[in-house]
Amino acid sequence: MTDTYLNLVNSGFTKKIAKQLGLPRPVPLRRHQPGRPLVDGPVLVLGTGEDADTVAHVLAGTAALSGASLAPGWDLDVRRHPAQGERYAAVVLVLTGLTHPDELAAPVLALGSTLQGLAPHARVVTVSRPATPDDGPAVAAARQGVDGILRSVAKELRNGATGNGVVVADGVPVTAPSVLGALRFFLSARSAFVDGQLLAVDSDGGSLPLDWDRPLDGRVAVVTGAARGIGAAIAETLARDGATVVAVDIPAAGEQLAAVANKVRGTALQLDVTAEDAGTRILEHARTRHGRLDVVVHNAGITRDKLLVNMTPDRWDPIVAVNIAAQLRINEQLLTSGDFTEEPRIVALASTSGIAGNRGQTNYAASKGGVVGMVRATAPLLSAFGGTANAVAPGFIETDMTAKIPAVTRQVARRLNSLQQGGQPVDVAEAVAFLASPQAGGVVGRTLRVCGQNLVGQ
């Protein structure tokens, strides 16, 4: 759906009027296009110590990984010290060695000195360690302080710039595949609507792709609810990244489903995900038509909004059945089949409503909060096979569903995030594709918000 306001404040006379009146002026976001550079300009790496030096060498393409080859596909113009008048496309702040809050001032203030001169659509990315119960109070305070710094900086950025963080578990090197994968994702235009988020890397699992543009080559992915909207965008994005896609949706959406499957050169499976044997039928289709199944994206979902005082079983039960119970049943059938064991990936669609709640959506929030809990508990069941389960939690995304929101409410919802606009289905799809990829193998049981740093919850 078109955001008319965004177009108006970025064109001609109305742009000048909006500036004079102090109105919100969101800018069109820079989204991924194959063949486009990872970033458009120099990258500044701030921080001291071995990890900062290593990250700088990786980004410059001069670091050897696993003692053999150089880091593939980077070759960025890397600087190590701020220069007056320099216009940076990205700033990476490496803070893995913190031992006391006193150590935050120098690197963070150095970051601050660059913010006014950042290029449009710039990226600020922190690399840090998590605060854990095993840390001393000073170490924990310093590490937790990074969380507050990153989220605050993200709210100060303008012109389509974003701020995100990679939180690396103790014992995991900064050269681990998922650290580099997450860093690349946050630097890239694939993360255009991801803002103010800190993604944890829990292990050194996963692997770096030979081709960053096609990390899913040879993989077979199932996408439920694929006939339109976010599901169709996910199918297209996974196919773009090299996957063979099985598009799944209810028989009533058969014509649209076939169009999506044809567009991505995959196959269509007409199936109600609430069927008792849905998981078995998905696996059978994938194996029969494509020889294997590697990725399952649980996108199918419905809403039946009503204030709790007016909630009835006919509005509650279908939400739980489609949005979470079906996923649990399908996962169980896949996990017990013995045929979902080659570095499998499960990516489920949660929602910011399931994290922060939303008026009139107790049923929906219960189901989407359930998704967050489900992936956290499912991930360990896949770890023996090198697999992962994670979730993506969209905020306000421009879809047919949000188009039905009253006009004034829709405009307010669009502006209630740091990027001051709604996201696009492709923004959710990009996050799903990253979590489904080999380079996300160390991200385990996590939920990544795609919400433009929506001003709710975390």
The residues that are catalytic are: 364
Within 61-114, where are the H helices?
A: 105-112
DSSP category for residue 189: G
Q: With the CA atoms of 149, 155, 158 and 160 taken in that order, what torsion angle do they form, in degrees rounded to the nearest 10?
A: 100
Q: Take residue 118 and report the two structure tokens written for it.
A: 């950042």
Residues in CB range of 187: below 8 A, 6 or more apart: 38, 39, 43, 90, 92, 123, 125
Provide the token pair at 261. 């499957």
On whether the CB atoms of residues 177 and 205 are closer than 8 A, the answer is yes
- Whole-number Å distance between alpha carbons of 85 and 65: 34
Tokens of 347: 């990516």
Q: Count H helices, E strands: the chain?
A: 16, 15
Q: Of 369, 363, 353, nearest to 306 (Cα)?
A: 363
Residue with tokens 């199944």: 293
Distance CA 385, CA 321 (A): 28
